[in-house]
Each structure stands twice: as C-alpha cells, then as structure tokens.
Structure 1
C-alpha cells in the first residue's frame, strides 16, 4: 500500500467509525473522502478479493443478499454492501469496513449500479458478473435500455475473462457477441406455445433483423422463451432452469430449479428470478443444491425490499418501486393477498430516484380499483403527481388521503382500518420513511448516506 493509499484509507475508516458510531450512518461519505484523497484506492482495497459483481435494473439488492447467503454455505469470509449503496463511493466504503481476512482469499459480492460497473472494473477484474435484467429506468440517467446495457458492457470489456451469469429470458443479454464465458438461467416450466408480449413492451425487437419477437412462454414484460420467426434468433440454451412453479403468496414463493425444490420467504415472480440468479452463482461456485435450499430458508427480508415493520397494531410492508415493470410486478404480487389491506404510495424525484416521474403513467395502477382496498394514502415530495395518477386510475376521493408530510403519513398509518398495510416508495422516500420510523422507535435505526 502506497503512502497516499494509506492516508486515504485511514481517513475513510476514521470517518466511517465516527458516522457509524454517533450518527448510525455512513454508507457513502467515507468513500467520497477516501476517493478525494486517492482516486485509485479501489485497486488497493480490492486486490485481496475474488469479486462477484451483481448489476442490472431491478433485483440487485435481493439477488446480492440471497447470493451472499448461498455462498456462506461454503465460504466463511464474504464482503458485501447490504444497504444497496452501489455507486463507487459506497463500494469504497464497503471495502473500508472490511475486516482483514486471517487466511485464504475472501469473496466480495457487490451490488453495482449499471453506470458504475466500469468504475469497478477499471481497478478490479471480477471473477464473475451477474446480469439480472434491463428495463426502462431513470431515463434522465440511463436513457433507453440499450444505452443502459452498453454502460454495463463498457465495464465488462475491461474483464474479458470473467464469467457472465445472465438472465437467459431477457433478449438483450443475448444481443451482442462477447468474449467472456457465459452461463444462462431462466424459466423452463411451461409447454411451448406461440405468443407475443404486450404492444407497449420495451425490448421485443429481434436484435438481428428487427422483427417482433415471439415467445414459447412469457413470464412478464419481455422475459421468457423468446424466438424470432423471421431469422431464427432465439433464447440460448439455459445452464440453470426453473423447472416447476408452485404456490406464490405475497410472503412466499415455492419453485423447483433443475428438479430441486426451493422456498423463499418473499413474494413475486420477479423475486424468483433473483433467487434463480443466486442459485446460478452458488452452483458456479460449487455450492450444492441442498445447501442453497438451506440458505434460502434462512435468509431474512432485505432492507426496503418487502420489509415488514410493526407500526402500532399495523403490519406495514415497505416495497421499493422505481420503474413501470417493477411497479406492475409489485401491484400484481400484493393483489394475491387474501387479507384486506390499505395502500400507501410515496413518490420522490431526487437523483437516486430518477428525476423524471413520468414512469408512473406507464404503471398499471388501474388494477388497484379491482381490489377491496378501503383506504389509500399518497405522499412524498411529488405527492401531487402520484395523487393525480391514482385519481385517474379510478381511486375514489372519499377513500383517498393526501398527506405530503411523511411523519404525518406514519401517524395516519396507525389509524388505517386494516391490520395489513402496503407502502410502495421510491428510494429516497423509503430512506426518509425509515428515518422517521427509527425516530419514533418502530425500528432500531435508519441508514444514512
């Protein structure tokens, strides 16, 4: 370690200790300080680790958490960033907080923002990349899905020997030839038919001939067993297959992968994809299916991702939403709840959320009106936008509470007529809500920046 790196590391660790000890935060600021003193610090900090990078639009945080649980079945020393601080400064902070391994070469399983993959691979050559999906998300930052994927590929190009473990059901991950070894995971639980995705779905043009893709089976959005009837482009051979899909509830999912039964304590087909990705990484790293099943049942819900918090006598489930595809999957998932529930939507539009809120108009909020929901609450910094969106969707005014102040939202939740409450929030709204819940004593602490 050079003198400069040593000074930068000391400053970063000292700031982390202070922020974590006295302010219960510090997920990115120590990294910012360290990078200011030594912009190349990741080369030093990551030199001792075998790194697995998990990236994509949706599912990074849960996929990372599940992957860490799976790998812990075989590997004792694993570094990760559990709060989802996935940009360069957050990743540096993660390394700063690491304990020096006593023996062997430890693993680092890192959730990495799509545009920050290149900032990692510029200094560290990962052992593997995991690609979850690419959906339209934060248009002000990424642009269209092909622009987002190219940002990832720019980083992958610096690590041509790293294995890619990709969602084989997503056509974009089969759209370009890459030198890397590639393994694919996906759903293979239904007989072949011939169908198309919905007309307004992104990413359904064949990358070879621009014909509209067809599907033998379709899970959601543009994901499934795709094929082009015009030129023969088709889903690649899967390395890891979901072979059966069992009961799904808002709090659990049952399924088989490669003939082995699994259960995760979280609902939604989109989260089964996350588990399938973690399974694929586990098998790639030599973890047995029985060990993976144990890891899945032992894993707790992840910060901000279907996190259940008791607020008075209410069971409040907080779910992060940030783009139309993810939103629709969440709405479909909560619609399977057999208990009556109230609905809260909190919308912010800061940099971490995406400044453009037009995506809410592509989400199918209309399906809420078919459910027996007695009370709706809308709030957050862009409460006017989400309030108007629900009004257009058909939510009656006499069932709709508008409350911009999140502290008052928490107070309103305690008075809701149902025991079960679902809160859908964008990222910074979720952070603000958790801070208020911590201040009021409903949770131990929030996560700072």
Structure 2
C-alpha cells in the first residue's frame, strides 16, 4: 500500500465513522473523499476480495439481495453495498465501511450502475459479472439500449478472464464475441411457437444484422427464445433455465429451475428472472441447489421492492418504478390481485429518477384500469404529468385524487375505500415517502425494511 492510498483509506474511514456517529450517515461522501485523495484507492481496498458485479437496467437491487442471501449458505462474511449506492463513490464507501478478517479472502457482491462498470473494472478484476437485462431507462443519461450495453461492454473488455453470467433471453448480451467464460440463464417454460415482439418494444431488431428478430416464445418485452431468420443469430444454449412457472400472485411466485421447485415471496415474472440470476451465481460458486431453495423461500423484502407498510388500517405495497418495461411488469403483477385495491403513483424527475418523464406514456395503464379501482391517487413533483396520463388512460374525476404534497398523499391513502393500496413511485419519491412515513413512526428510519 502506498502512502497516498493509506492516507486516502484512513481519511475515508474516519469520515465514514464521523458521518455515521454524529450526523445522519453518508453512503457516498466517504468514498468521494477517499477517491479525491487517491483515484486508485479502490484497487487497494479490494485486493483481498473476490468481487462479483451485478449490473443491468432492472433488477440489480433484488438480484444482489437474493445473491447475498444465497451465498450466505456458504460464506460467513459477505460485503455488499446494501444501501443501493451503486456508483463509484458509493461502492468505495461500502469497502471503507467493511473490515475484512485479516489473512482471509473475502467475498463482495456489488450492485453496479451500468455506466460505472468500466471505471470499476479499471481497478478491480471481478470473479464474475452478472448482466440482468437492458431496457430503455433514464434517457438523459443512457440514451437508447445500445448505448447502455456499450457502457457495460467497455468494462467487460478490460477483464477478459472474468466469467460473464448473462440473461441469455436478451439478444444484445450474446451479440458480441468476447473471450470471457460465459454462463447463460433464461426461460424455457413454454412450447415453441412463432411470434414477433410488439413494434414499440425495445430491441426489436437483430443486433447483428438489423433484421426484425423473431421468437419461439417471449417471456416479456424483448426477452425470450429469439432467432434471426436473416443471419442465423439465435439464443445461446442455457446453463440454468426456468423450466416451469406454476403460479404467480402479487405476493409470491412458484416456479422451477432446472426442474427443481422454487418459491419467492414477491410477485412478477421480472422477479423470477432476478431469482434465476441469483441461482446462477450460487451454482457458479458451488452452492448446492437445496441450499439455494431455503433463502429464496425466506427472502426479505428489499427497500422499495414490494415492501408492505402498515399505514393505520391500510396495507400499503410500495413499488419502485423507473422505466416503461419495469412499469408494465408491475402493472401486470398488480392485475393478478384477486382482491379490491386502490392505486397511487408518485412521479419525480430528479437526476436519480431520470429527468425525462415521457416513459409514462408507454405504461399500459389502460389495461390495468379494466379492473375496478375505486381510488387513484397522484402526487410527486411531476404530479401534473402523471395525472394527465392517467386521465387519458380513463381515470375519472370521481376516481382521481391529485395531492399537492406527501402529507396530502398519506391522508388520501388513509382515506382510500380499500384495505390494500399499491403505491408506485420513482426512486426519489420512494425516498421522500419513506422519510415521511419514518417521521410518522410507520417505519424505521433509513433504507432497511
């Protein structure tokens, strides 16, 4: 360790201690201080770790949490950035906060923002990189899906010996020849047919020849058993696969991976993909299948990911939404609820949310509103946008309650005529709502559930 790196590490750890002892904590500032003093400090901090990166548009947080729970069956001291701070400063802070046992190789499971894979791989050679999916998201930061993939790819090319654990149902992930060892996971739960993705779906073109891509079946969006009739590009062979989806409810999913039964206490097909990714990491690190089944069944709710908060006599299910594909998967999940429910949507457009809110127009609210929803609540800093979108979808003046602030939002939720309320919110809106709920003692402060 150089004097420069040692000083940066010591200063960063002191700032972390000070912020968490005397202030309200800090998930990125200690890392920012340390990297300002030594841009390569992360290289020293990670030297005794095997690192696994989890990246992609949707599912990073839950996949990371499920992976950690899975690997706890074998490893007793796993470092992870559980605050969700997934850029370089936040990742550095997570390492500063963790004190590994001397002389032992440690394991780090990191949720990593797509644009931060490359800067991280300059200092760290991961044992594996997990890629969940690529969808249109935060257009002001990433642009289209090809730009996002190229950001990830730039990091992958720095670490040719790292194993890539990839969603094989995403055409982009197998479209570029790479020297890395590869593991593909995906769905094989339906008989083959013949279909095309809807025209407004992300990635309808073959990434090799730009011909319209075809599918034997589609799980959702542009994911599925794809092939190109023009150039022969097709889905790679899968190592790990969902072989059956037996039941999906808003609060649970039952399915099979490689013919073995699994259950998670969270709804939505997109979350089965997250569980499948965690399974693949577990098997990559030789965790027995039976040891993976247990933590899946007992998985804990993750901040903003279908956590249920009791608000007086209302059960409030809080769900993070941030792009059209994720939103539509959430709307489909809600539609499977056999009980009556009310709906709220809180829309912000800060940097962490993505300042472009046009994605709400790709949300299939019209299909959801075929169900009887007595009360629809809107709020957030861009409440006018989501209110107008829902009116266009068919929400009536009698159903609609537009709220000017979070106090009014909570009051509207408490006054809803149903016992269950789904609250869909963008990232900073989730933070603001949870802070307000913590102040009212409905939940504990912080990000833990």
TM-score, normalising length: structure 1: 0.98
**Alignment length (residue pairs):** 448
Does residue 1:69 correspond to 2:58, yes or no? no
1:17 CA drift (Å): 2.3
Residue equivalent to 1:389: 389
Any idea what the Cα deviations from partners look like across 1:394-429, whole Å, max 9, x if unmatched?
101111111131232123211211111111111111
Query: Which residues of 2 match residues 331-342 of structure 1 at below 5 A?
Result: 331-342=331-342
1:38 CA drift (Å): 1.8
Residue equivalent to 2:442: 442
Does residue 1:306 correspond to 2:306, yes or no? yes
Residue equivalent to 1:290: 290
- Residues 69, 233 of structure 1: CA spacing in aligned structure 2 closer, same or farther, 3 A cutoff? same
Residue equivalent to 2:352: 352
Residue equivalent to 1:107: 107
Any idea what the Cα deviations from partners look like across 1:30-85, whole Å, max 9, x if unmatched?
21222222221111111110000000000000000000111111111210011211
SS at match of 2:369: helix
- Residues 167, 421 of structure 1: CA spacing in aligned structure 2 closer, same or farther, 3 A cutoff? same
Residue pair 2:345, 2:378 contacting (<8 A) in 1 also: yes
1:447 CA drift (Å): 4.1
Q: Distance in 2 between matches of 1:370 and 1:19?
A: 49
Does residue 1:47 correspond to 2:40, yes or no? no
1:99 CA drift (Å): 2.0
Query: Which residues of 2 match residues 256-267 of structure 1 at below 5 A?
Result: 256-267=256-267
- Residues 168, 381 of structure 1: CA spacing in aligned structure 2 closer, same or farther, 3 A cutoff? same
Residue equivalent to 2:244: 244
Residue pair 2:100, 2:106 contacting (<8 A) in 1 also: no
Q: Distance in 2 between matches of 1:104 and 1:323?
A: 41
Residue pair 1:437, 1:443 contacting (<8 A) in 2 also: yes
Any idea what the Cα deviations from partners look like across 1:355-409, whole Å, max 9, x if unmatched?
1111111111112321111101111111111111111111011111111312321
1:90 CA drift (Å): 0.6
1:102 CA drift (Å): 4.5
SS at match of 2:86: coil
Residue pair 2:303, 2:447 contacting (<8 A) in 1 also: no
Residue equivalent to 1:160: 160
- Residues 128, 5 of structure 1: CA spacing in aligned structure 2 closer, same or farther, 3 A cutoff? same
Residue equivalent to 1:403: 403
Residue pair 1:345, 1:378 contacting (<8 A) in 2 also: yes
1:233 CA drift (Å): 1.2
Deviating more after overlay: 372-381 vs 439-448: 439-448
SS at match of 2:423: strand
Deviating more after overlay: 42-51 vs 9-18: 9-18
1:132 CA drift (Å): 0.1
SS at match of 2:315: strand
Query: Which residues of 2 match residues 170-209 of structure 1 at below 5 A?
Result: 170-209=170-209
SS at match of 1:153: helix
TM-score, normalising length: structure 2: 0.98
- Residues 25, 411 of structure 1: CA spacing in aligned structure 2 closer, same or farther, 3 A cutoff? farther
RMSD of aligned Cα (Å): 1.3
Residue pair 2:319, 2:424 contacting (<8 A) in 1 also: yes
Q: Distance in 1 between matches of 2:7 and 2:431?
A: 31
Q: Distance in 2 between matches of 1:96 and 1:190?
A: 46
SS at match of 2:398: helix
Q: 1 or 2 for the larger relative contact order (CA 8 Å, sep ≥6)?
A: 1
Residue equivalent to 1:141: 141
Deviating more after overlay: 305-314 vs 96-105: 96-105
Q: Distance in 1 between matches of 2:373 and 2:167?
A: 35
1:22 CA drift (Å): 4.1
Q: Distance in 2 between matches of 1:370 and 1:23?
A: 48
Q: Distance in 1 between matches of 2:317 and 2:7?
A: 43
1:26 CA drift (Å): 1.3
Any idea what the Cα deviations from partners look like across 1:214-244, whole Å, max 9, x if unmatched?
1111111000001112222110000111111
Which structure 1 residue ranges, 5 or more long, are not aligned? none
